Structure 1
Amino acid sequence: MLHWVESQSILGITLFIFGFCYVLTMVIFGAAAILSRRAVAKELKAASPVTLTPLAVILALLLAFLSSRVWTNVDRAGGYVGQEASALRQAVLLADALPPDVRNSLRESIKRHLQFIETHDWPAMGRGEANLQVIPGGLTDAMAAILSFTPAQPAQQLAQERALVAIEQALDARRDRTRLSQVQIAPVQWIVIIVLMVLILVTIAMIHIDNRTAMAATLSIFSTAVALCLVLLMIYDRPFAFGGVTMAPTTFREVAVE
């Protein structure tokens, strides 16, 4: 269910989250309105507003913790993609100093790796199915091509060493972005947020049970604020997914391989 929601557009995620929060609010308001006609309403009205403070603090801390982690992951995702693309571009440039057959083999291997990213790696990360068991053949072939000759000049030796380092950096960056594509807010964390939200809504309804206008206004304000926070978390939760605010492999398309 969560994967389906997060795979929608920003508008779709926003409508779903706000709809869910408002439906939950209306259910609690309706239940409170029914109870307000009964004798138990006076006992519920005795609930202290101070009860809201610890609940609100716990919810705020949880949202702040998750928001910090989510946006840190977004920054890391961009960094890993940039590192991998830069390393591949460096290997392409260093190929000019290598013998013609090695140069052509290296460029062809990098081109195949770029196609692998577009056709396999990125869709797999979007589905949350990317793993390190799939070895990028393009990069392994590029590494084999670099090691397949003995440098005849100091310039070739230097280019060979740096090209090998660039390919290793590309492998490390791909490994990092693959791991990051599997990171997301766990279902149990979403459940805790929803439970805390329900507890606060119920407490608000109890405090204002004898004043429906105040109860409706307060419930609406709180549910809107929480819905906004949940929308932000969900659209940024998986930077490599298909929905929300996601990254496209456009950076790799700038690695021109002639």
Structure 2
Amino acid sequence: MALLETLAVIVLVALVAAVAVYVKTRLFPLREGEEPREDVAEYISMMVSVFYALVLGLCLVSVWDNRADADDRVQAEASALHQTYLLADALPAEQRGPLREAARTYAGHVVDVEWSRMAERRPLGDEGWALLDRLRSAGELHGKGTTSQQIAAQEVLAQIGYVDDARRGRETAAEERLSVVLWAGLVIGGLLTVAFMFLFGLNRSSTHVILVMGLSGFIAFTVLLIHQLDTPFGTELGVSADPFTRYFSR
């Protein structure tokens, strides 16, 4: 619906502009002997190119920021989970094994199950949160324990809190996507930018062919790059699960 509403607004504004031009030419026609001004078309072409460059820049910044945020979240989550695993040495002997196993299980679930879901923009489900609750329960100190064990248990819970926060950020980053309004601007602006090249004496010379090919190819490349970065976990340019697999080798 948002895309249709955006296109409807664009078409409406274009029609209003067309009516304005028609009214102007009917009410204020060119005087006898007055030549039409070609620089108007050049000015419009220049403004379209400038606005399209702004849209491209905005889209690139938006998707890159989301990708960078996703990477930071993954790094923080894996690091905090690894610290939790290491802190198991300071807990009572009977709790070390369950805490380490819970940490390994959580990391395996993130890599084997959630990563493909994030790449496909599917909901992560509740399994990961249940495993995180299991990890938190395993890190709680059962019984009084020594002073050092109590301090370690508090640090374990603090690290699990970091895991929780980073996980929420990772889930949010996986669901973020570029606005349909910006996608409409990318497509329509690209078409207009290329179309305006045909207004200025374009012929079949090799120079013009190369210019059109170069501009069209570069616009296509930029749009594809934005599309790749718009899926922060699902493409060659996306965030990998290396932080988890590095700390928790399979």
Q: TM-score, normalised by structure 2?
A: 0.77
Could you tell me which of 238, 242, 245 is aligned with 1:250?
Answer: 242
Query: Structure 1 CA distance, aligned partners of 2:39 and 2:240?
Result: 54
**Matches of 1:153 and 1:75, distance apart in 2:** 42
Q: Secondary structure at the match of 2:144?
A: coil
d(CA) in 1 for partners of 2:238, 2:65: 14
Q: Residue 223 of structure 1 corresponds to which residue in structure 2?
A: 216
Deviations 1:191-221 (A, max 9, x none): 2211112222222212225x34365344223
SS in 1 for 2:247: coil
Q: How many residues align?
A: 215
**CA distance in structure 2 between the aligned counterparts of 1:46 and 1:93, rounded to whole angstroms:** 70
Return the letter of the residue paired with 1:153.
Answer: T
* Cα pair 1:116 1:136 within 8 Å, conserved: no
Q: Does 1:147 align with 2:140?
A: yes
Find 1:205's aligned residue among 198, 208, 211. Answer: 198
- Is the Cα–Cα contact under 8 Å of residues 85 and 255 in structure 1 kept in the other structure? yes
Query: For residues 221-240 of structure 1, what are the alpha-carbon distances to aligned partners after superposition, in whole Å with 9 as ceiling and x for unaligned?
Result: 32122123223212222120
Q: Which moved more, 1:56-65 or 1:112-121?
A: 112-121
Verify the 8 A CA contact 2:67 2:173 in the aligned structure 1. Answer: no
Most deviating of 114-123 and 186-195: 186-195
AA of the residue aligned to 1:184: R
SS of the residue aligned with 1:151? coil
Query: Which amino acid is the alignment partner of residue 250 of structure 1?
Result: D
Q: In 2, distance between residues paired with 1:86 and 1:231?
A: 32
- Which secondary structure does the structure 2 equivalent of 1:68 belong to? helix
Residue 13 of structure 1 corresponds to which residue in structure 2?
A: none
Unaligned runs of 5+ in 2: 1-35
* 1:164 equivalent in structure 2: 157
Q: Does 1:232 align with 2:212?
A: no
C-alpha displacement of 1:190: 2.2
**Bigger radius of gyration, 1 or 2?**
2
Contact 1:239 1:245 in 2 (8 A): yes
Q: CA RMSD in A?
A: 2.6
Match among 116, 122, 126 for residue 129 of structure 1:
122
Aligned pairs for 1:68-79 within 5 A = 68-79=61-72
Q: CA deviation at 1:47?
A: 6.2
Q: Aligned-pair distance for 1:134?
A: 4.6
Write out per-residue CA displacement over residues 50-93 of structure 1, whole angstroms, 9 at most, x where no aligned residue.
11111011110011011112222222122111101110111111
CA distance in 1, matches of 2:108, 2:230: 26
Using the TM superposition, give the Cα deviation of residue 254 of structure 1 relative to its aligned residue in structure 2, in angstroms: 2.2
2:222 maps to a residue whose letter is: C
Local SS of the residue matching 2:175 = coil
- Please list, as runs of the form range in 1=range in 2, the aligned pairs for 1:72-151 lying within 5 A after superposition: 72-131=65-124, 133-151=126-144
The structure-2 alpha-carbon separation of the partners of 1:201 and 1:219, relative to structure 1 and needing over 3 Å to count, comes to same
Partner of 1:63 in structure 2?
Answer: 56
Using the size of structure 1 for normalisation, the TM-score is 0.75
Q: Which amino acid aligns with 2:153?
A: Q
* CA deviation map 1:16-70 (0-9, x unaligned): xxxxxxxxxxxxxxxxxxxxxxxxxxx9x78621111110111100110111122
